[in-house]
Amino acid sequence: MNGPTGLGHSGPVRLDLSGLDTRPAQTWGAMRLVPLVRREPIEDLRLHAGLYDDDPATTVLSDATGCTTYVPHAFVATWSDDGTPVAAYGTQLGRPRRHMPVWTRRRMARHGDKSRLRFLPLHLAVEGFLALHFGGPVIVWEEWSRQAVAHGLSPRAEDAYLGMEIRGLEDALKVFEIHPEQCGLLLYTGDTLAAAFVVPHPEDYRALHPTLVLDLYGELVYDYALFYPARDFRATIDEDAVSSLADLRAEALRQEREWARFHDSVMAGGLIRAPDKVEEIERLGRFTLSRFLPAFERKSENHIGETIIDEEGQLAYLKTFRLSEAQSRRGHLLSTLAEHDWSLPATAAALGTGPAALGLRLERAGFGHLLRQDVLDGYRKARAERLSGRSRRTRPAGAPSPPA
């Protein structure tokens, strides 16, 4: 993936969930699904899942400015009679007999006609994260390798899990009730916000609800689903305030409002504050398709995502991906380097460390190939000498020297 497909203005923003009301959560093991319902559905924008020629197994290729998505266990070849690229089903000997056509998409979001737009859910957001300072050093400082200067961060890869691999998610989506006005969902694993999904209309949500098992999820979501069950938030009714069915109904409504306030201010607070930079991708009449990146704050929630918002700022569509701690650290390092023109001494000072420690930190983050080998070896030697000196200083007087 060699960078963004098309970008507009950027700037800080908050996700505005007004118009969406929280309903009581449903839990299944580590899964907690919080329904979001609309007071007024959006009628002039609709979303649906599209297949190409009724064949769900589609290989998608892009040009030099996009990224490549492929169907596992498929091979791209040009054995068709008319030269059209196709992909083989399975392993075959001799002339392939079973194959399917291959479609080429020039952009991650592309117009089908004047009133239709095709885009791959979450791929816009992930592409934006992978393109983060993709070009590499803007100044040829002596520490950077030839590869860093010539090719930047290419290749760049991040790990993700398919929803089918998240323990309990598929079962939860099967058994949970869908509210009549439901237009969205907040997904928690181990009471940690994993993903948000919002669509314009209840009919859209009913159609797209099963696709959540096909979405991408981060390492943190996968681990929490395995090891951290959801807590049980119990409603408490004031017995002294109940003397009739009307009083009981009022107490239940009070508990529902208190849950919604707690959820929106505490549990989902990190998502609402998450966007730091927003990039416009496409205009859809009165709507705008955008993607956003977080501030990459340490020890904090960091979500990437994509939105469709109308001219009044109302949220019509939202899909998010929560970054793992390691991914957040990589984003933080790259952003800090870019802020200081990729100068290691200046970046190290901003992070409160030294150039050698920063260099080794870059190596642990998977960016060691960006540094010249002799520079990186020097950083390792300096660290070893420092640790050796610290060991000698802390050894009691008269203690024998360690064996050679």
For 81-91, the pLDDT digits (tens) are 343 444 444 44
Greater confidence (46 vs 72) lies with: 46
User: What DSSP string describes 292-341?
Assistant: EEE---TTS--EEEEEEEETT--EEEEEEEEPPHHHHHHHHHHHHHHHTT
Confidence bin at 364 (pLDDT 50/70/90)? very high
- The β-bridge partners of 69 are 60
pLDDT at 130: 85
What does the pLDDT look like over 30-52, one tens digit per residue? 888 889 999 888 888 877 765 44
- For residue 296, what are its two tokens? 């990459």
DSSP class of 361: H
CB atoms near residue 112 (< 10 Å) = 9
Confidence bin at 360 (pLDDT 50/70/90)? very high
Cis before 229? omega within 30: no
Query: What integer is the mean pLDDT of 186-200?
Result: 88
Among the residue ranges 21-25, 257-261, 274-278, the one predicted with the least confidence is: 257-261
- Residues 312 and 199: their CA atoms lie apart, in Å, by 17
Q: Are 66 and 74 in contact (CB under 8 A)?
A: no
Confidence bin at 105 (pLDDT 50/70/90)? very low
Q: 22, exposed or middle or buried, with CB in 10 Å at 0-12, 13-18, 19+?
A: buried
- Residues 110 and 62: their CA atoms lie apart, in Å, by 11
- Residues 136 and 28: their CA atoms lie apart, in Å, by 44
Query: What integer is the mean pLDDT of 200-216?
Result: 87
Confidence bin at 139 (pLDDT 50/70/90)? confident
Phi and psi at residue 190, to the nearest 5°: 55, 35
One-letter amino acid for residue 376 of the chain = L
Helix (H) or strand (E) holding 22: strand 20-22
Among the residue ranges 53-57, 192-196, 229-233, 392-396, the one predicted with the least confidence is: 53-57
Query: What integer is the mean pLDDT of 387-392?
Result: 69
pTM for the predicted model, two decimal places = 0.74
pLDDT at 284: 78
Phi and psi at residue 309, to the nearest 5°: -130, 140
Strand ranges in 156-313 using DSSP code E only, listed in sequence order: 161-162, 182-189, 192-198, 216-217, 275-284, 287-294, 303-310
Block residue for tokens 């399917």: 100
pLDDT at 362: 93
- Residues 30 and 235: their CA atoms lie apart, in Å, by 19
- For residue 213, what are its two tokens? 């098992």
- The β-bridge partners of 33 are 26, 187
Q: Which of 117-126, 210-219, 330-339, 377-386 has the highest mean pLDDT?
A: 330-339
CB atoms near residue 51 (< 10 Å) = 9
pLDDT at 313: 86
Share of the chain above pLDDT 90, in %: 18
State yes or no: pLDDT of 400 exceeds 70. Answer: no
